[in-house]
């Protein structure tokens, strides 16, 4: 009996041990399964979260957009400046630019004359009377030179010499003092307006007498189309024709002082404690391919770009006059076109080159 109870206890213990071992073996698998389920659930949760974020992203982007503000700087950059056309010249108003010529010159008025024979090689509106701008200073220089005034006499710029008509600038400030010779040099070479005005103002008898002398000289030379009202050319009432200006150039070329000063490439003057460098307004004087004996440039809006020269081309002494040129450098371009044309001519031209339409004086 005792033996039977012991056997029953042993079987119970064996069964209990089997259950414990089975449970121990099953636990790792259960934990792994739980971890797997947890991982899958986490991935699903992450995917759902990402999907949710993607789903709301467009709404977030839309709500994040800020209204665009146009700053004052942006408005300024976008503002268009209205184009203001240049004031037309007298020649443009008169229709002189509509006249064609074989050389396609940009100047509405042109005249080229053989200085020795007085043969007209080219003419275009040469009788038209127009403002001549700073070509005026050639007559100013002639009056000063022929008056035989002391060139070393000091002249001081005053408020009377300041341009109140066109508002042009000058480096010769009020109070600046130069000699008469220096003033004349700057007027002819660099077209210095205050220098030219000071020359007329300090002429014996004053400015009015000086202008009277200018007109008297023009009349004496037979320049019947010419009239001066002041010595700088800033006034559009200073007017002449190409024919008259050719006469003036021919006479002025006979004055050694005018030849020297008008063709000077550059010049320095001492004004107070400063040294000012001035250059010739005609770039051709620095061109070694040109032989220029006398020249003068001019510009105001009413006159356009102007140029007169005495030059020698292919052994011929020529006088060139260009008035009312349309572009900044076109007067020099016209001179080059004429030179190339003259270089192809025989020593004597049978007939002058003329524009295809005649325009009366205006």
Cα separation, 143 vs 248, in Å, equals 12
Crossing angle of helices 136-147 and 193-201, rounded to 10°: 40
The active-site residue, picked from 123, 145, 191, 330, is: 191
Strands laid side by side in the 353-354 sheet: 292-300, 304-313, 316-325, 107-114, 120-124, 353-354
The active-site residue, picked from 124, 137, 217, 296, is: 137
Closest CA to 238 of 204, 216, 261, 211: 211
Can you say how many angstroms the Cα of residue 109 is from the centroid of all Cα atoms in its chain? 24
Query: Is 134 assigned a catalytic role?
Result: yes
Query: Is 286 assigned a catalytic role?
Result: no
Cα separation, 47 vs 191, in Å, equals 86
Q: Which of helix, strand or coil describes residue 130? A: strand
Cα separation, 278 vs 293, in Å, equals 20
Q: What angle do CA 182, 168, 193 make, to 5 degrees?
A: 25
CB 277 within 8 A of CB 268: yes
Cα separation, 327 vs 325, in Å, equals 6
The active-site residue, picked from 107, 134, 241, 330, is: 134
Query: Is 48 assigned a catalytic role?
Result: no
Residues annotated as catalytic are: 134, 137, 191
């Amino acid at each position: 009996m005792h033996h039977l109870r012991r056997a029953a206890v042993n079987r119970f213990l064996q069964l209990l041990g089997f259950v414990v071992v089975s449970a121990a073996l099953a636990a790792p698998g259960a934990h792994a399964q739980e971890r797997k389920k947890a991982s899958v659930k986490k991935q699903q949760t992450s995917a759902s979260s990402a999907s949710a974020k993607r789903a709301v992203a467009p709404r977030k982007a839309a709500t994040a957009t800020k209204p665009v503000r146009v700053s004052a700087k942006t408005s300024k950059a976008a503002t268009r400046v209205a184009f203001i056309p240049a004031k037309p010249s007298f020649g443009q108003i008169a229709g002189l630019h509509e006249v064609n010529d074989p050389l396609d010159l940009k100047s509405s008025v042109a005249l080229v004359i053989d200085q020795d024979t007085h043969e007209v090689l080219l003419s275009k509106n040469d009788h038209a009377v127009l403002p001549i701008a700073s070509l005026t200073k050639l007559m100013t220089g002639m009056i000063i030179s022929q008056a035989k005034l002391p060139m070393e006499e000091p002249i001081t710029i005053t408020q009377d010499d300041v341009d109140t008509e066109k508002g042009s600038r000058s480096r010769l400030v009020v109070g600046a003092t130069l000699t008469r010779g220096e003033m004349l040099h700057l007027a002819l070479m660099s077209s210095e307006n205050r220098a030219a005005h000071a020359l007329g103002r300090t002429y014996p008898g004053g400015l009015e007498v000086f202008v009277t002398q200018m007109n008297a000289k023009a009349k004496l030379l037979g320049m019947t189309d010419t009239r001066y009202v002041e010595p700088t050319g800033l006034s559009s009432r200073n007017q002449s024709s190409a024919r008259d200006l050719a006469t003036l150039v021919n006479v002025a070329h006979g004055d050694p002082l005018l030849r020297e000063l008008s063709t000077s490439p550059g010049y320095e003057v001492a004004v107070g404690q400063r040294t000012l460098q001035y250059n010739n307004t005609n770039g051709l004087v620095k061109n070694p391919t040109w032989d220029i004996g006398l020249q003068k440039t001019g510009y105001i809006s009413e006159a356009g770009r102007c140029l007169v020269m005495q030059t020698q081309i292919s052994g011929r002494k020529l006088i060139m006059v260009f008035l009312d040129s349309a572009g900044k450098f076109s007067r020099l371009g016209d001179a080059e076109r004429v030179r190339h044309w003259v270089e192809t001519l025989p020593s004597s031209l049978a007939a002058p080159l003329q524009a295809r339409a005649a325009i009366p004086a205006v």
